[in-house]
Amino acid sequence: MSAEMLRGAPLAGVLRKQVVALLEETGAEPCLANVVVGDDGAAASYLDSLDKAAGKRGIATRRIRLDEDVSEEALCEAVVEAGRDPGIHGLMIQFPLPDGIDRQRVTDLIPADKDVDGLTTRSLGSVLAGDRRHTAPATAAAVCEILRADERLDPKGRDVVIVGRSLVVGRPLAAMLTAPVPGGHATVTTCHSRTKELAEHTRRADIVVMAVGVRHMLTPDMVRPGAVVIDVGTHPVETDGTWTLDGDVHPDVEGVAGFMTPVPGGVGIVTTSVLMRHVAAAACPGRLEPAW
C-alpha cells in the first residue's frame, strides 16, 4: 500500500483565490503586523515566507521590532499601540518571547478583531464554546480545512488521535474536531508526553494528527493500515548545503497509511493560506465564512 498524498497546494490555491477576489471586489488593503522581540533568528524565514504569501494576495506586512531586553510593560504598550492602529488589520506576536515575559498576558492585548492567529484567551474560549465568530488558531484551522476538503477524510464518527496538547495546535484542534458542527463530530483522544503506551492509541486511530516537534516520531508500526495521517511537525534539516523540512512522521509511514500530508508541502502551506484568509476577513468583516 502506498498512501495518497494530501498535498496542500491545491487547497492553498483555492483559499488564495477567495482572498484575492474579495480584496479586488472590496478594494480593501489589509495589513498584517508582526511583533518581533530581538533578532528575527529562527523566525526570520517564517516571517519572510509570510511577507511573500501576503504580497501575492495584495496584503501588506509590517514588522514591529523591539529589543531583546524589552520589559514586559514596554512590550504590552507596543501591542496595545499596534492594536489601536487603524492601518493594522491583523496582529501577531512571534514566539518564543524572552524568559520572564508572560506570553498569554501579552497575547491577550491583541484586540479580538485583529487576532488573526486565534491565540488570545477570548479566541481560544470561543473555539471551545463552538462559537465560530472568533478566529480559530490558524494551524488547527488548517488541519480542519484539509480534512473538510475531501469527504473521504470526514472526521464525523471517527476515532481521531492528536499527539501534542499545545494551545497553538493540539488542544484547540481537539475542541474543533469534537464540536457538533460540519467537519466535527469526531471522537478525539489528545496525547502528550505523559501518555502511557502512545502506540496503542495511535494504532487504533482512523485519523492521527502529529503536532509534537519530534522528528520522525510516528513510525509505521504505530499506524493502522489505511489510516489518515496529518503531519503538523516541522524540522529544518540540511542536506548537502540545502535546507528543507522534515515532519513528525517517518517517511516509511507512507507504506501503511491510506492518506498522508507531506512535509514540506502539506499543513504548513495551508496554514499560511488560512492565516492570510483571516487577515482578509479582519479587513472585510462579515465577508468570509469562518475557516472551520
From the list 113-121, 209-217, 236-244, 252-260, the region that binds ligand NAP by CB under 6 A is 209-217
Q: Of 7, 62, 132, 192, which one interacts with ligand NAP (CB under 6 A)?
A: 192
Q: Please report whether residue 172 would count as binding ligand NAP according to CB under 6 A.
A: no
Backbone phi, psi, residue 210, to 5°: -100, 115
For ligand NAP (CB under 6 A), the number of binding residues is 24
CA angle 172, 180, 260 (to 5 degrees): 55
Looking at beta carbons only, is 185 or 192 nearer to ligand NAP? Answer: 192
Residues numbered 219 to 248 that lie near ligand NAP (CB under 6 A) are 232-234
Q: d(Cα 18, Cα 288) in Å, to the nearest integer?
A: 9
H-state helical runs in the chain: 9-26, 44-57, 72-84, 103-107, 121-129, 138-148, 170-178, 198-203, 267-283
Among 140, 163, 175, 284, binds ligand NAP (CB under 6 A): 163
Q: Which is nearer to ligand NAP, 89 or 165 (CB)?
A: 165
One of 96, 193, 200, 237 touching ligand NAP (CB under 6 A): 193
* Helix H or strand E segment including 159: strand 159-163
Q: Which of 99, 194, 197, 239 binds ligand NAP (CB under 6 A)?
A: 194
DSSP string, 24-46: HHH----EEEEEEES--GGGHHH
The footprint of ligand NAP on residues 259-288 (CB under 6 A) is 267-268, 271
Q: Which is nearer to ligand NAP, 78 or 172 (CB)?
A: 172
71 binds ligand NAP (CB under 6 A): no
**Is 165 among the residues that bind ligand NAP (CB under 6 A)?**
yes
User: Residues 114 to 143: which contact ligand NAP by CB under 6 A?
Assistant: 139
Cα 260 from Cα 255, distance rounded (Å): 10
Residue 135 is classified by DSSP as P
Residue number, 209 or 284, with CB nearest to ligand NAP: 209
Contacts of residue 3, Cβ cutoff 8 Å, sequence gap at least 6: 229, 253, 254, 255, 256, 257, 258, 259, 260
C-alpha cell at 247: 515532519
DSSP character for 137? P
In the complex, minimum distance from the CB of residue 190 to ligand NAP, in angstroms, rounded to a whole number: 8
**Under the criterion CB under 6 A, does residue 49 sit at the interface with ligand NAP?**
no
191 binds ligand NAP (CB under 6 A): yes
Give the three cell numbers for residue 170. Answer: 493540539
167 alpha carbon, distance to own chain's centre? 11
Rule CB under 6 A: which residues touch ligand NAP? 139, 163-166, 168-170, 191-195, 198, 211-214, 232-234, 267-268, 271
